[in-house]
Amino acid sequence: MSWSVISTWKMSLEGNRKAGRILESHGTAGDAVLLGVQDVEDNPAFHSVGYSGLPDAGGHVTLDAGYMDGDTLEFGAVGCLEGYRSPAAIARSLIHYPYNNFLVGEGAAAYAENHGFEKRDNLTKDSAERYLRERNLNQTHSSYKGHDTVCFLARDEKGTIVSCTSTSGLYLKEHGRVGDTPLPGCGYYADSTIGAAAATGVGEEIMKGALSRAVVDLMAQGMHVQEAADKALADLKERLGENIRPISLIAMDKDGNTGVSTTLAFPFCVAKEGGDTELYLAEPSETGITSIRKIEDPSELSMD
């Protein structure tokens, strides 16, 4: 069986390479996705995830993350978590409990403290300055200022598929708001017998369609992974109308084949057994089949 890994946005390029190296050296899909997500969580240059993430309306960087193991369907998630380094690692640690798999706010922070997770103030000088500059402007809430949630899907050589997501969520969101990213079925889903999907974009739209589960359901009916991604998004567009706010999604079938669909230009990264990480740009097309082209020079894309 062969491995593969797909991830959202150009910001995941280096993390995708790291994930690919883990899988190439016979590591697990779980370790691969976590390392990939953490590469983005730790990079202060990316303002929609982890360190230096976008503050909420009260100036707090509150983080959401989810993790799902496709062999067991176990998941772990944290929402509105403040003050810790890797919400994705904390989410992953929650998967084996019979209950209490999804923790939010102070309860999530207390769990992280009690289990020795690394503390970190994710509000950097950069993100604080941006918050002070923009909080009084008439902002249209948008999770898309070039990029949004980091999502990784990976299949390892044993056939295990895992999904992992992490974000600081909607820019200037209300304190306490939790989006799609930690919600299984919405921001991510994984079933090693069928495949996996994960979404980025406006969480309120993604949640309306339980979009990641919708993609997996279509694959379960026998649809090809690319067709399933396009159909799930087309169905939601039809239901919500043409004014649907931005959404992009990535998908993987049980054999590691990948697909994407999007309402706007969307960079993503893929690595497969025997090859290096490649950067692609997906764009919606009139035909309803997502147009995908390989980007040879990452500097060609201005957005992360």
Query: C-beta of 201: minimal distance to ligand GLY in Å?
Result: 6
Tokens (6 digits) for 48: 């929609």
Of 8, 28, 62, 149, catalytic? 149
Residues 200-219 within binding reach of ligand GLY (CB under 6 A):
200-203
Going by their DSSP bridges, the two strands 188-191 and 161-167 should be labelled as unpaired
Query: C-beta of 222: minimal distance to ligand GLY in Å?
Result: 29
Residues 91-150 within binding reach of ligand GLY (CB under 6 A):
143, 148-149
Stretch that binds ligand GLY, among 55-63, 122-130, 194-202, 220-228 (CB under 6 A): 194-202
Query: C-beta of 172: minimal distance to ligand GLY in Å?
Result: 12
Rounded to the nearest 5 degrees, what angle is found at the Cα of 72, between the Cα atoms of 70 and 77?
75
For the beta carbon of residue 274, count every other beta carbon within 10 angstroms: 8
For the beta carbon of residue 85, count every other beta carbon within 10 angstroms: 19
Sheet of 188-191, strands arranged across: 188-191, 195-201, 247-253, 258-262
Buried residues in 153-173 as b, exposed as e (16+ CB within 10 A): bbbbbebbbbbbbbbbbbbbb
| 167 forms part of the interface with ligand GLY (CB under 6 A) | yes
Task: Answer yes or no: 277 catalytic.
Answer: no
| 170 forms part of the interface with ligand GLY (CB under 6 A) | yes
Using the minimum distance from each CB to ligand GLY, give the nearer residue, 21 or 141: 141
Stretch that binds ligand GLY, among 92-100, 178-186, 279-287, 296-304 (CB under 6 A): 178-186
Q: What Cα–Cα distance (Å) separates residue 89 from each residue in 35, 40, 282?
A: 9, 13, 29
| 55 forms part of the interface with ligand GLY (CB under 6 A) | no
Query: C-beta of 178: minimal distance to ligand GLY in Å?
Result: 8
3-state secondary structure of 163: strand
| 179 forms part of the interface with ligand GLY (CB under 6 A) | yes
Active site members: 149
